[in-house]
Amino acid sequence: MAPDTTIRVGVRTRSLAEPRLQYVRQLGATDIFVDHADVDEEPDEFNDRDAGATLAVGRDAIPSVADLEAAKDRVEAAGLTLIGIQSLPYSLYGDIMFDREGKEDALEQITTLVRNLGEADIPILGYQWNPRGVVPMRTGTAELRGGARGTAFDYDEIDDPDALAPGLDREYTEAEFWDNYEAFLETVLPVAEEAGVEMALHPVDPPVIESMCGIPRLCRSVENFEKAMDLVPSDNHSLKLCLGCFSQMGEDVTDVLRTFGERDQIGFIHFRDVVGAVPEFHETFVDEGNFDTTDVVETLDEIGYDGVVIPDHVPAMTDDTDWRHRARGYTVGYLRGVIDTVQ
C-alpha cells in the first residue's frame, strides 16, 4: 500500500491544454500552479491544441471568477487540483514598487484578482517584489552532466552594476522600497484575509548586494523575510519558499525551513538548487547542488509540512521541448521517490 504522503508534488505551467495536464497526471503530480502569460523567463511552446487553454494574468488582464472556475474545471477533469497562481507579473506590481503613476490602478487590479480567486476557491496567489526586466536575473549558462545546461549568474559579468537600470532617472533607497511595500501589504492583505487567499512571497533572484542598478533588493536574506512577514502581520501571508534562492544566499536551507516552519509561514516550496552562491552560481539538477535533497525532505517531514513542492527552473536537456518535459518529468519523479522513501 502506498504511504499516506502529505507532502505533494505539483507543477507550474502556462498551458492548461489536455495533453499537458494528462502528462502532469501521468507523472504522478497532483497540483497545478498556473503561470501568468506575459513573461519569457521560461519558454513554453503552444500550438492549436492550446487555443483557449491558458489563463491570462497581467496588467489589464485579470481573469474573472468565471474564467478561474473554467480553468479549475479543466484541471480537475484531468484528475488534478488547481491550487493557485504561480506569480504576479512585474507589469502588475512594478508601479507599486516604484510608487509611480498607475499604482492605484495596479492595486485595484490585484485586489480584484484576490477576490476572484477567493470566489473561485483557489487558495494561493504567489507574488514577488523583484524588479524583473530592469536588472539581469542571469548572465549566462553553465554546462552540467552529459552536456545539459543550467542558468548561471556572475556578478562580475554585469557591465556596470552601479549604472541606473533602463527607464530609471534616479536611485531608490531601501527605506523608500520598504515604505512602498508596506503600503502594498496594508491594501492587499486585508482583502486576502476576507477572500480566504494566501499571499506567498518569493525571494529576490538573484539575492545579491543591498542594491543593484539603483534598485534596492529587499527580499535578499532570512532577516529581511522575517521583516517582510512582520511588517503587516497576517495569517494569510507566507513564503513561496524557493530553496534555490536561499541556497544562492549561502544559507543552510534546512535551517531556513525550520525557521519559517516554526512561524507557520511556508505557503509552498520551489524545489531547485544551485552550485555556488552569490556573487557566482549556476543552477543544476535536483540531485546535485549545495544541499542534499533527502535532508530537505526529512526536514519538511520533521516540521510537519503538508503542502506542495514544485520543480521551479529545470535544466535544458538533449532533445527536450521548450517547456522541458524531460527535465521536469525527471525532477517530479525524483522528488516523488525521495518523498515516498522519507514518508
pLDDT per residue over 90-106, tens digit each?
Answer: 889 999 999 999 999 99
> What is the pLDDT confidence band of residue 45, given thresholds at 50, 70 and 90?
low
Grid cell, residue 123, equals 487558495
Residue 1 lies in a domain: no
Helix (H, G, I), strand (E, B), or coil: what is residue 282? strand
For residues 27 and 41, the model is more confident at: 27
Q: Find cell 544562492 and name the residue.
A: 248
Percent of the chain predicted with pLDDT > 70: 92
2-16, 117-131, 139-153, 268-282: least confidently modelled range = 2-16
pLDDT at 211: 79
Average pLDDT over residues 262-289: 96
pLDDT value of position 1 = 34
Q: What pTM was computed for the model?
A: 0.93
The reported pLDDT for the residue numbered 17 is 93
Compute φ and ψ for 95, nearest 5 degrees. Answer: -65, -30
Please check the confidence at residue 42 and state whether its pLDDT lies above 90: no
Tell me, what's the pLDDT at 132?
Answer: 67
Least confident of 40-54, 99-113, 181-195, 221-235: 40-54
Three-state DSSP state, 203: coil
Beta strands in 121-223 (DSSP E): 124-128, 140-143, 149-154, 198-202, 211-212, 215-216
CATH number at residue 114: 3.20.20.150
- Structural domain harbouring 329: 8-342
Query: Which pLDDT does position 47 carry in this prediction?
Result: 55
Q: What pLDDT does 136 receive?
A: 65
164, pLDDT greater than 80: no
Domain total of the chain = 1
Kind plus residue range of the DSSP H or E element containing 230: helix 222-231
276 or 37: whose pLDDT is higher?
Answer: 276
In a domain, 3, yes or no: no
Q: Please check whether residue 30 lies inside any domain of the structure.
A: yes
What whole-number distance in Å separates Cα of residue 296 and Cα of residue 287? 12
- Is the pLDDT at 38 greater than 80, yes or no? no
Residue range 232-236: average pLDDT?
A: 97
**pLDDT value for 304:** 95
Please tell me which residue, 24 or 48, carries the higher pLDDT value: 24
* Residue 85, domain member (yes or no): yes
Report yes or no on 2 lying in a domain: no
Residue type, 155: Y
In this prediction, residue 2 carries a pLDDT of 42
pLDDT in the model for residue 82: 98
In a domain, 161, yes or no: yes
- Between CA 136 and CA 118 the distance in angstroms is 34
pLDDT at residue 296 tops 60: yes
Average predicted confidence (pLDDT) for the chain: 91
How confident is the model at residue 153, as a pLDDT? 93
User: At 31, is the secondary structure helix, strand, or coil?
Assistant: strand
* DSSP label of 295: H
Higher pLDDT, 130 or 192: 192
Highest mean pLDDT among 38-42, 134-138, 151-155, 329-333: 329-333
Q: What is the mean pLDDT of residues 62-73?
A: 96
Tell me what the mean pLDDT of segment 177-195 comes to: 97
